[in-house]
A and B are shown apart, each in its own frame.
Chain A
Amino acid sequence: MSRDKLLVVYMTLGYPDNGRYLEFMRESVKNGADILEIGIPPKYAKYDGPVIRKSYEKVSGKFDLWSFLPETRKVIGNTKAIALTYLEDWVSELDSFLTKLKVAGLDGVLFPDLLIDFVDDYQMYSSKVREKSLNNVIFTAPSVPDRMIMEVSKQSDLFLYYGVRPTTGIPLPITVSSLVTRVRNLVDNKLVVGFGLSDENDLRKALKAGADGAAVGTAFIQAIEKGGVKDAVDLVIKLRSILDEF
């Protein structure tokens, strides 16, 4: 089914355990996720909020990355899946890391620190990702200057990721609609808004202001903590229905 608005579902790899993680991924796809973001625990989750940071701590060391990633591919069929991880951790072995991602069945990668910590060389790293036939989804934020958002929007594959808050999952008082309205005019690509967008009103405002989709993560982790995979899947269904209003 072709939908107008993209639902990008984030989950930390292997959270809360391998079985429930795979169940959530499978059910997310069945219930309306368009793209999956798989969080690979980094050494220092500097741009993540406390909920996602705790999820990393919980799963660290509980799986073998390269044998477990292909398991995800098996349960999600052809749905696009991108790895979300910090370039900082892989930069010294980037070539082999990207090759392994491809072999593991991933479609792309999103490095949240690419434009922040590696901004002087981001084009070089972007090229390396593409050379491996992977999609390179670029993360931007309100602190990225307009000129640069315009520039990278064209280079971001699948969509441009725009995080509206400086860190994930903390409900800071951001006027989402004015941010999205401003950035919409700069982006010549699909614009997916994320980082703390689980609030229904905020989500509707973002979509009304011209976002092409939403990326949600923290809320799924909180839902799993509270009521297990079922609650998290119910949230996928709810978000899908909100996106389909537009």
Chain B
Amino acid sequence: MVNNAEEILPKYWYNIIPDLPKPLPPPRDPLGAEFSRIDLLRTILPKEVLRQQLTIERYIKIPDEVRERYLAIGRPTPLLRAKRLEEYLGTPAKIYFKFEGATPTGSHKINTALPQAYFAMEEGVEHVVTETGAGQWGTATALAATMYGMKSTIFMVKISYEQKPMRKSIMQLYGGEVYPSPTDLTEFGKKIRNERPDHPGSLGIAMSEAIEYALNNHLKYLVGSVLDVVILHQSVIGQETMAQLDELGEEPDVLIGCVGGGSNFGGFAFPFIGNGRGKKYVAVASAEIPKFSTGEYKYDFPDSAGLLPLVKMITMGNNYVPPPIYAGGLRYHGAAPSLSLLMKEGIVGWREYNENQIFEAAQIFMRTQGIVPAPESSHAIRAVIEEALEAKKTGRKETIVFNLSGHGLLDLPNYDSMMRRIVKNEQR
């Protein structure tokens, strides 16, 4: 695989917008807005990042400097066959997974952190700021920033900050400043803390804090998920997977990924959808944050404070307070607008699984394939197992491909507490 890495690694990012079945509802300012949120994006985003967010070309060239970094961090990531899992399930289906956990930061997030940091560095930025839920995005930002000689400040959702001390340590080792959100560093954080001192935080709140902090300190903000530009950068996952499947002579039938904001799913599945490859696409969310089954498709703010422009998406509402669950990356209240549109149109299907269901799936995967998946990615594994068992029932020889968006080696405390809860429940 290493020998033809440069061939497998795409030269262009793929954007699904021109290939969507319907127009993507544009971002807009809220009724009676005192200031334009769209205008605000100019202040907080690196110029090239904003251009890529808005310029809806089908293919955008990946700068050579970014391609070099992609290669340096181990892209293309491996596409592996889960042969042992197939045998365990006794399914006629073939199961492949794209292993994004093979990157140094342990998840797919570095795919967009690198170009965003590069574009910021190119315009002379010295300090970037962002938020993080489970910690993967913050880790990727801290690494990308330091690789380009910049400082980083990261607002980490408080519950994750407490549950995942090692994530915090990695960010700090990379040189990032990490704060548990809600903080006292921003007006919005103070407001939330006054209302509810024990607030566990949410990605929407952390995002609002990061944006406010960036505005007040004239810093640039890096975006972790949801926006089109992030999915655009993540398209390296799906494009690599396509090339790797081609090398193997395989044609995918089912493509599966988990969804927090939608960037790993979109990056993985959109190149297939846009190219008409694959028959079934499944997005998987947490049953504890049931946005697919109970969320509405409407205009909503991506962040809790309402600083970003309204976008049309499947959402639980930007004021929704997600429960502190085992998979921090899936606690986001909405799903990316392009993914929401594809789900609304029935092109992408969905599933939701609870803690018990994903714990079981994670254990099966660990014991058959040896990889500890991130709890977020275990949602995709659960869907894969169900799909493979369904194929067993019907005798379908389909090819299932899923995105293992990150490893879970830094989520062991989460798995420990899951084990304790599940054992306790079983004893009752």
Contacts and interface: CB of A to CB of B under 8 A. Distances in A.
Nearest to B22: A119
A116 B39 contact: no
A142 B55 contact: yes
Interface in A1-52: 44, 46-47, 49-50
Contacts of A59: none
A148 B54 contact: no
A145 B38 contact: no
Interface of A: 44, 46-47, 49-50, 53, 115-117, 119, 140-146, 148, 165-167, 170-175, 178-179, 182
Nearest to B20: A145
Contact of B38 (A146, A167, A179): A167
A170 B24 contact: no
A179 B18 CA distance: 11
Contacts of B58: 146, 182
A170 B42 contact: yes
Given A50-B39, A179-B57, A173 B22 contact: no
B422 interface: no
A72 B27 CA distance: 33
Nearest to B26: A166
A46 B57 CA distance: 24
Contacts of A144: 23
A141 B26 CA distance: 9
Nearest to A176: B55
A49 B41 CA distance: 14
27 contacts: A44-B31, A46-B28, A49-B36, A49-B39, A50-B33, A53-B29, A141-B23, A142-B17, A142-B55, A144-B23, A145-B18, A145-B21, A145-B22, A146-B58, A148-B23, A166-B27, A167-B29, A167-B38, A170-B38, A172-B50, A173-B42, A173-B50, A173-B51, A174-B51, A178-B55, A182-B18, A182-B57
A69 to B, nearest CB: 26
B25 interface: yes
A116 B25 contact: yes
Contact of B26 (A143, A146, A173): A143
A213 to B, nearest CB: 21
Nearest to A119: B22
Contacts of B23: 115-116, 119, 140-141, 143-145, 148
B47 interface: yes
Majority-rule SS of A interface residues: loop
Interface centre among B33, B55, B57 (most CB of A within 10 A): B55
Interface residues of B, number: 30
Interface string B33-50: 101101101100001101
Interface centre among B31, B35, B48, B56 (most CB of A within 10 A): B56
Nearest to B25: A116
B27 A175 contact: no
A172 B23 CA distance: 20
B19 interface: yes
Nearest to B28: A46
Given A46-B28, A115-B23, A145-B20, A173 B36 contact: no
A174 B36 contact: no
Contacts of A170: 36, 38-39, 42
Contacts of A117: 25
A173 B39 contact: no
Top-8 shortest CB links A-B: A142-B56, A143-B24, A144-B23, A166-B26, A173-B51, A146-B18, A46-B28, A145-B20
Contacts of B36: 49-50, 167, 170
B17 A143 contact: yes
Given A49-B36, A172-B38, 4 more contacts: A143-B17, A143-B23, A143-B25, A173-B48
A171 to B, nearest CB: 8
A171 B24 CA distance: 21
A170 to B, nearest CB: 5
A10 B210 CA distance: 38
A173 B43 CA distance: 12
Interface string B67-107: 00000000000000000000000000000000000000000
A142 B54 contact: yes
Contact of A145 (B19, B25, B51, B55): B19
Nearest to B21: A145
Contacts of A53: 29
A46 B29 contact: yes
**Most A CB atoms within 10 A — which of B20, B29, B39, B42?**
B29
Contacts of B19: 145-146
A166 B38 contact: yes
A179 B54 CA distance: 10
A56 B308 CA distance: 23
